[in-house]
Structure 1
């Protein structure tokens, strides 16, 4: 798949990208730099400093924060303002199923962990960025949701992403009169380099690996195209929605899953 870059599309814009140390977040943040933006790469993993150092760009700054706390989200937004003078665009990318298993096999604490991982960082970051967008007089928030609002073996994660969809629509309605857009993409399965930091630090049992393979097959079969997407295929719609080209789009959740609407 070709990778398009639109020179200067984000010139003069300050972006905060969360979950920017790897995967979709890293690809989005890197492309935004190439298109002229100034980007705060936010992640709770220290490796975010390594990836930013490799870019060797004055327009890329790393910041470590635990976005599962409101204090972490607020600190990230303050750092962007202190570093770049303001915020124009927030791209909320933190999230991801920690475990994949039938719902009846989840323990209570595991359910809590899925909600904390895949809903709260976006909820807190949206809340923390609003004062800075109000001060700017405009802004855009792009939430990375998921088409897994319909899928097997990850019901708590699905519930969290359903919450992000509701957040996107409700907040968009609330802040439209402040010249702020709130939109989302709903990615399907995506081919990406192996994660440097696994989502499940405990590792997966043989049974969990089998359940995960069930998910992989379900995702492929639910897609009209019968395949996973590429990173580039996920980055392009995220940055389109973040850009001024999408100035009359708000409250929308764009499925990016080969035809599977989730």
Structure 2
């Protein structure tokens, strides 16, 4: 089925997409808008405003630091006030800041990885529940990672393992209240150069070498021996968000060319 066959899949739905300024989040937000959703793009980067304009009249942006609970709370409040409620939350914020052997991580760097890749999802889930209940139910899609098994990213792996646990536990807790909680676990993904760097301090020569080892491991672990595309990551996220996945909850879908993580 072509994309046009899904054109109205999200008609009447309000979707919040976090981390929507670039990469997978940007692709998800644009496609959701194209399929009829009213979309709120949340990011701490001004670039989210440009993506919202690209998405069209039924899109709005909100700048927030989702590593804080207040940021998540205000983002959900804005979405509900702007479009009258929330039906779907896609928790996409996260990403490894550094790649290095675990013993080379400093304690402050470990804390930063957990704050970046676990807390926005945990806070987002908590902040959106009252809004979903007010609609009589809804869906949360968490973007995890298959890097729960991988080298040089142990703190990030721990954070994404936490996302998986949140997904499964919360799905069990909320199923009787008509709220589904699901996740995808992307593998390595080809993307344009980042407008906002993952590590504002830049990578040392040694870190660049460690990153090269990560890339080699990720491709070798994939049955397909390649990275996926952004489109190949966005499509499963939107499937799980849609009513087509109405009997799926608590599941974590690997999207990594056969590598289960």
TM-score normalized with structure 2 length: 0.98
Q: Deviations over 1:44-82 (max 9, x none)?
A: 111111222233x11110100000001000000000000
Query: Does the Cα contact within 8 Å between 1:3 and 1:232 map onto a contact in 2?
Result: no
Query: In angstroms, what is the RMSD of aligned CA positions?
Result: 1.0
Q: Deviations over 1:130-176 (max 9, x none)?
A: 00011111100000000000000000000000000000000000000
What corresponds to 1:8 in structure 2?
8
Residue 168 of structure 2 is aligned to residue 166 of structure 1: no
Query: Does the Cα contact within 8 Å between 1:94 and 1:118 map onto a contact in 2?
Result: yes
What corresponds to 1:131 in structure 2?
130
What corresponds to 2:98 in structure 1?
99
Q: Deviations over 1:105-137 (max 9, x none)?
A: 000000000000000000000000000011111
Distance 2:2 2:225 in 1: 21
What corresponds to 1:27 in structure 2?
27
What corresponds to 1:198 in structure 2?
197
Relative distance call for 1:189 and 1:3 in structure 2 (3 A) is farther
Q: Is there any run of 5+ residues in structure 2 with no aligned partner, and where?
A: none
What corresponds to 1:256 in structure 2?
255
Distance 1:53 1:139 in 2: 26
Q: Deviations over 1:1-35 (max 9, x none)?
A: x9735110000000000000000000000000000
Distance 2:101 2:231 in 1: 31
Query: Does the Cα contact within 8 Å between 1:91 and 1:143 map onto a contact in 2?
Result: yes
Query: Does the Cα contact within 8 Å between 1:172 and 1:250 map onto a contact in 2?
Result: yes
What corresponds to 2:17 in structure 1?
17
What corresponds to 1:68 in structure 2?
67
Distance 2:77 2:122 in 1: 17
Query: Does the Cα contact within 8 Å between 1:140 and 1:182 map onto a contact in 2?
Result: yes
Distance 1:115 1:256 in 2: 22
Give the 5 Å matches for 1:209-228: 209-228=208-227
Residue 102 of structure 2 is aligned to residue 90 of structure 1: no
Q: Is there any run of 5+ residues in structure 1 with no aligned partner, and where?
A: none
SS of corresponding position for 1:81: helix
SS of corresponding position for 2:3: coil
* Structure 1 segments of 4+ aligned residues over 6 angstroms from their partners: none
The structural deviation recorded for 1:260 is: 0.1
Distance 1:160 1:4 in 2: 33
Relative distance call for 1:154 and 1:3 in structure 2 (3 A) is farther
